[in-house]
Amino acid sequence: MLKTQAVRPARLEMMAAIETRLSGFLAAERERWAAVDPRCAVPVDAVAGLVAAGGKRWRPAFCVSGFLAAGGPEAETETLLDAAAAIELVHAAALIHDDVLDDSPLRRGAPTVHTTHIATHAGAGWLGESRRYGEGTAILAGDLAMVYAGRLTAGLPDVARPVWDEMLTEIQIGQYLDMAVAAECVVDPAVSRWVAVCKSGRYSIHRPLLLGAAIAGRPQLATQFAEYGEALGEAFQLRDDLIDTFGDSAATGKPVGSDLAQHKMTLLLAMACGRDDRLRALVAEQEWDTEAIRLRLVDGGAREEIERRIGELVRWAREAIAQAGLDPAWQAELTEMATEVAYRNR
C-alpha cells in the first residue's frame, strides 16, 4: 500500500493533465466554430457536454498506467497525454452512437445527446421529424468526436499505431455483432463472450494498457499486459452486466435493466444459461419475463457464481501482473486498480 502511494500521485497528475487537454481542445474548437455560426457549436457542445459530465475514465487511466509502468520516457509524455485524451473521445463517440442504437434516455446522469436534441427540435417546432433531427445530431456529434480523436493521435509512434487501429476496428465490429445477436435472439455463450471481450473488455483495459506500453517504447510488455487485460476485461464486463441487472440507476447515472429489456444475451446471461436449464427455458421464450429471469439469476445461484468468477479473474490478473517484472510500486498500483474495476458499483 505504501508502494502504491509512491506512484499514484504521478498517475493522477497525468489524469488531471488529460482533463485539461480535453477541455482545452474542445473549448478551442467551440470558439472557432461558434464564430462561423452559433449553430456550428452544437455538435462540439454535445461532445464537450458528455465529456464534462464525468465518467470513470478507466481507459485513459489504463493508458497512463501502461505508459508509466513501462517506464515511459519524459519525451513521450505529450504523445501519451494526447493518446489518452483521444481514447476518451473515442469512448464518447461510441457512447453517443450506442445510445442512439439502444434509444437510451440517460447517460452520466443527464439526458443523452439524441434525447436532448429531439426535445429541442420538438420544443422549437422546427421542420421535419424530431427523431430524425435529434438522432442526426447525435450521429454527427459522434462522428466529430471520432475526428477529434484522430487529430489527437496524429503523432502516434509507428509501434503504437496497430494497437490503436485494432482497438477502433474492434469497437465497431463488436457493436454491430452485439446489436445483431440481440435482434436475432442468438443464445450462444461463445458469441456473447466474443462480443464482451471485443466490445468492452479489450477496449476498456487491454488495448489502452498496450497503447501506453507501446508509446513508452516497450511493446514487449504486450504478453503480460494481455493476460492481465483479458482477465480484467472479462471481470469489467461481468460487473457491468451485474450492475445493469441488479444495480441502481441513481448510482450509475444511466438506466438499469435495459439489457434484459432489449433481450441482450449478455456475458452474464450466457454464462448463467450454460449451467441452469430453467434459466435457459426462460430465455428461450419469445417474450422475456425480465423479473422472472432476474429472480432466477439469484435463486439458481448464477449471481453468486458470477461473483466467484469475478474473484477468480481478479486473482489471474494479479498473478499476471506479478510476473511482468514491473517496478513493485507499479505492480501494487495495477493490482489495486484491478480490484477497483472489478468491484465498482457504477
| Chain contacts with a second copy (rule: CB under 8 A) | 29, 33, 36-37, 39-40, 42-44, 93, 97, 100-101, 103, 121, 124, 126-128, 132-133, 135-137, 139-144, 146-148, 150-151, 154, 156, 161, 165, 168-169, 172-173, 175-177, 179-185, 191, 194, 262-263
Phi, psi of 191 (to 5 degrees): -65, -45
Four-residue CA torsion sign, 196, 197, 199, 202: positive
Min separation Cβ 251 and a second copy, Å: 27
Q: Is the Cβ of residue 182 or residue 341 nearer to a second copy in the bound state? A: 182
Rounded Cα–Cα distance for residues 266 and 192 (Å): 6
- Minimum CB distance to a second copy smaller for 130 or for 339: 130
Q: Which is nearer to a second copy, 166 or 336 (CB)?
A: 166
CB 132 within 8 A of CB 54: no
Q: Which is nearer to a second copy, 128 or 325 (CB)?
A: 128
**Which CB atom, from 242 or from 267, has the smaller least distance to a second copy?**
267
Record the cell numbers describing residue 47, joined without a space.
Answer: 461532445
289-294: Cβ within 8 A, 24+ apart: 290/257, 290/260, 290/261, 293/260, 293/269, 294/245, 294/246, 294/260
**Largest interatomic CA distance in the chain:** 62
Of 95 and 242, CB closest to a second copy: 95
Name 111's bridge partners.
106
Alpha-carbon distance of 120 to 123, in angstroms, equals 5
State the minimum distance, in angstroms, from the CB of residue 286 to a second copy. 9
If we measure between CA atoms, which residue out of 54, 57, 48, 50 comes closest to residue 25? 48
> How far are the Cα atoms of 38, 42, 93, 123, 134 from residue 120, in angstroms, in the given order?
15, 11, 21, 5, 8
Beta carbon of residue 102, minimum distance to a second copy (angstroms, whole number)? 9
What is the nearest approach in angstroms of a second copy to the Cβ of residue 23? 18
Shortest distance in whole angstroms from residue 327 CB to a second copy: 31
Judged by beta carbon, residue 283 or residue 326, the one nearer a second copy is 283
Instruction: Give me the residue label for grid cell 476485461.
Output: 233
Least distance CB 141 / a second copy (angstroms): 8
Residue 73 region, left (φ>0) first, then alpha (ψ -120 to 50), else beta? beta
| Sign, CA torsion 219/225/227/229 | negative
- C-beta of 46: minimal distance to a second copy in Å? 9
- Minimal distance in Å, beta carbon 37 to a second copy? 6
199 or 239: whose CB is closer to a second copy?
199
